[in-house]
Structure formats: structure tokens, C-alpha cells
Amino acid sequence: MGTLDGKVALVTGASRGIGATVALRLASEGARVAAMARTLEPDPRYSGSLRETVEGIRAAGHEAVAVRGDLSSVDDRRRIVAETVEAFGPVDILVNNAAVTFLAPVEEFSEKRFRLMIEVQVWAPFELTQLVLPGMRARGAGWLLNISSRAAQHPEGPPFDAVYERGFSAYGLCKAALERFTTAVASEGYRHGIRANALAPLDNVATPGAGAHDLVADFPLEDPSVLAEAALALVEGDITGRIAYSQTLLDELGRKPAATAL
């Protein structure tokens, strides 16, 4: 028996990295997982794919379905939830992990890239949450988890660390907005049994996406399984309104990550 038996989880950005590891960890505890990403097959630039995530979950004896969609499309956002409900039933757990990220100084940041980041990292989680909240409220329970980042923190200074010259302005803006949205849902949903939290790695996670931005070599690393275990802790109980860091949360709860990485 798993702690999530009977629950339906929708995990966005589940083709590789954090999303794939979180999807498998939730499935290992009995959740039926709708793993969502933009494409089913591998991207030649990265390792891992949505197909591999779902196959890995099924090979471990758990239930999963692949849901393809573009989170910048309003039609796709609605279809993603509809396909999840059709496959497994109403969503009990929503993990907003997907992101599209560009790094550039403020004066060089294009409007097109800014709007795309806001659409995928802020409005998409907002709208997906809107789509699943009515069902959660009707059942008297639901869990929302938004994957954030230390980039949401304000730089300390002056003098400022040189890392803040790397172009994290729009990314940090998106994550800060996501965190404030999280606490809003936590407060609005609490009396309806809905729990909402945000989770960030304490250190950088060695994912294909981080490698694409040359972050892996420059920052301390955290195993994705640490973040996956912390994610599980936030969607299986009564914790709500937390802006948590993964290793810090595990230390607080006295938990160790399970060996569930793909």
C-alpha cells in the first residue's frame, strides 16, 4: 500500500530531470500519473523523453499515461486536464514543474521571450490550477505543488554577487510570482481541504535543462531524488502554505530520498 493509492497526479514538464523523477516517485506510492510534456519523443538536444518517463513508470509496475501539450496554448492547457480526467479521473495532485527559460540582462531581454516565459511559467500554472480546483473543492481534498527556484529570492547587496549578472531577471520574476500565487491558493483553499506549496532545490539540480544554461558546472549540485522525496512529502499530507527548500524540508521531517530515479 502506498501513501498515494487511489490518487491521480498530473505532472507537467515530465519528460526528463525534476519532472520525470517526481512523476516516478509519486507513482511509486500508488498515484496514477499523467506525465505531461510538449513532445513524446526525445529532443536531440537533451537526454530523456516523455515516452521514456511513462515506460519507466509502467516497467516499475505503476500506472501512467503520456499527455502531450504546449503550455503556451490555452487550448492545449484545457485539453491536458481533460485527457488526464478521461484517462484516470479527476486530478487530486497537480505538480507545476514545466518551464521555458531564457537568460539575458534586462536591457537585452526581448518582449517575445518575456511573454513566453510568463505564459508557460506563470499563467499556465495559474490556469491549470483553475481547471482542477472545482473538482478538488467538490471532493474536499487536493494538493498543488509549484516547483520554484532560489532565483525568486532578492539579491543581497551591494556589492552583488557576480552570479546576478548572468541574466536571471525574468526567471526570478516568474518564480517569485509563482510563489506568491502558491500562498494565495493555500489561503483560499485551506478550508476546502486544498493544500498548496512551492518547492525549490536547495542547490542546483543536474538536469539537461540546467546543462543547457551551463549551470551544472558553476553551482553546487543536488540529486533530483532529494527534490522528488520533498515533493512527495508536500502532496501526501496536511502541509500547506510553505515555500520550501528540498533538503531543508527533508532534514526537518527526518526523511531520506528513496532510490526511484529513472
Q: Phi and psi (nearest 5°) for 6?
A: 85, -5
The residue from 171, 225, 245, 246 that is catalytic is 171
CA atoms in the 13 A half-sphere facing the CB of 228: 25
Residues sharing a CB contact under 8 Å with residue 165, sequence separation 6 or more, in sequence order: 105
What is the rounded distance in angstroms from the CA atom of residue 137 to the CA atom of residue 135? Answer: 5
- 256 catalytic residue (yes or no): no
The residue from 28, 148, 149, 225 that is catalytic is 148
The residue from 7, 149, 175, 246 that is catalytic is 175
CA atoms in the 13 A half-sphere facing the CB of 34: 26
What is the rounded distance in angstroms from the CA atom of residue 255 to the CA atom of residue 123? Answer: 33
| Coil vs helix vs strand at 34 | strand
- 73 catalytic residue (yes or no): no
For the chain, the distance separating the N- and C-terminal CA atoms, rounded to the nearest angstrom, is 21
What is the amino acid identity at position 77? R
CB 95 within 8 A of CB 128: no
Catalytically active residues are: 148, 171, 175
